[in-house]
Amino acid sequence: MSFKPANRIQDLQYFGEFGGVNPSISDSSTYTFLSAKTMFDTFEGNVEGCYLYSRHSSPSNLYLGEALAAMEGTETAHVAATGMGAITPTLLQLCHAGDHIVASRTIYGGTYAFLKNFAPKFGITSSFVDITNPTAISEAIKPNTKIIYCESVSNPLLEIANLPELSQIAKSNGLKLLVDNTFSPLSISPAALGADIVLHSLTKFINGSSDTMGGVTCGSRELINDLKNVNDGASMLLGPSMDSLRAASILKNLRTLHIRIKQHSKNALYLAEKFEADGLKTVYPGLPSHPGHQTFRNMMNEEYGFGGMLTIDVGSLNKANELMELMQQRNLGYLAVSLGFYKTLFSAPGTSTSSEIPEEEQKAMGLSDGLIRFSIGLENDIERTYQMMQQCMIEIGILKAIIA
């Protein structure tokens, strides 16, 4: 595939107002107008290039949005204060009371809770399906369905959505395909594979330093204008706007995303291969044993690898907790939710990030008690990390000593 997302980021040139190599930060919530007429026209949406109020847009936010649109290959983008602050207004903008969404059943816990518990208050209902089963998806589509919603690499089970296939189903039924690409920035380019809208939590890999929250909706100019409309735009009226200082810092971190993703992927593949060889139940899209391995391969921008996320199943929640605490004591990473940090992060999704999903549904989707989700960090010496992790597993009886 010839899509080069990191080149597209690199090719954008922004200068500060005094020739700074970084764009100036727009440290203002409101903006002056030279004439009262221009202010009126701007509120009416008839003037381009003027700023009115930072909940609507700001120069710093536009710079970051344009860089993310370039990365995803969409017309434009709109940044938000958090990932959920991008996802929920986008869904509410596209759906009205009486509409229906077909969603993957293995999505981020917050998105799942929004669709299951919150959106029905507005008459928007959802069916949750196995996103790797095209028949189940087609059967779930109803006359009032508007959207197919999935994650390219799902949380936490790392299922791979076949985006070209989903796009075909969406197109032939007149639906929009929305893809949350938080787990696989650069590796997968959903818009180039047929997605209509690409969403991210910037809080994770894209910012990469676990110091900031952020989100983005990448899509058509029409959608983004609708989201920002002063009269009926969900982003404008619900108000999850990103702060300019944060937009500027995320843009600077975006500059190194391609280097970081390559290292996350390299380290994760190394550990996944070792864990699997040790006999641990390991899920990583880069392993040929992963059911979505070939699908990922067919879609990926090869140089970025299969991403930094992997899971192992150590049999029980007690063992999982014991192992995570020991690994943290040995400074192999942190027992924390979230992902995309320089340091390895691990958590047991059943009791943390997916706890919004009822227990019996967790079972149905294959989310077991002993599952540990790893976001593999940027370790320089992953071999040493592996040896130390293996030692932890031997000490608490997950691995037999003979392996060492």
Report residue 95 CA to chain centroid gap.
21
Residues within window 192-221 making contact with ligand PLP, judged by CB under 6 A:
201, 203-204, 213, 215
Q: Are 349 and 343 in contact (CB under 8 A)?
A: no
> Nearer Cβ to ligand PLP, position 195 or 389?
195
| Spatial CA neighbour of 253 closest among 345, 378, 151 | 378
Single residue of 76, 155, 344, 368 touching ligand PLP by CB under 6 A: 155
DSSP states along 156-172: TT--B--HHHHHHHHHH
What lies within 8 Å, CB to CB, of 7 at 6+ separation is none
What lies within 8 Å, CB to CB, of 373 at 6+ separation is 156, 309, 310, 311, 346, 347, 348, 349, 353
Site membership for ligand PLP, residue 159 (CB under 6 A): no
Binding mask 73-92 for ligand PLP (x = CB under 6 A): ---------xxx--------
Q: Are 229 and 55 in contact (CB under 8 A)?
A: no
Residues within window 164-183 making contact with ligand PLP, judged by CB under 6 A:
180, 182-183
Shortest distance (Å) from residue 198 CB to ligand PLP: 12
> Nearer Cβ to ligand PLP, position 109 or 134?
109
> Nearer Cβ to ligand PLP, position 141 or 376?
376
| Spatial CA neighbour of 377 closest among 272, 280, 263 | 263
Shortest distance (Å) from residue 90 CB to ligand PLP: 12
Residue nearest to ligand PLP (CB): 83
Shortest distance (Å) from residue 150 CB to ligand PLP: 10
Summary count for the chain: helices (H), strands (E): 15, 12
Coil, helix or strand at residue 35 = coil
DSSP 23: P
Site membership for ligand PLP, residue 309 (CB under 6 A): no
> Nearer Cβ to ligand PLP, position 84 or 399?
84
> Nearer Cβ to ligand PLP, position 146 or 373?
373
Site membership for ligand PLP, residue 151 (CB under 6 A): yes
Site membership for ligand PLP, residue 385 (CB under 6 A): no
| Number of residues engaging ligand PLP in binding (CB under 6 A) | 16
What's the farthest any 2 CA atoms get from each other in the chain?
A: 80
> Nearer Cβ to ligand PLP, position 23 or 307?
307
Residues that bind ligand PLP (CB under 6 A): 82-84, 108, 110-111, 151, 155, 180, 182-183, 201, 203-204, 213, 215
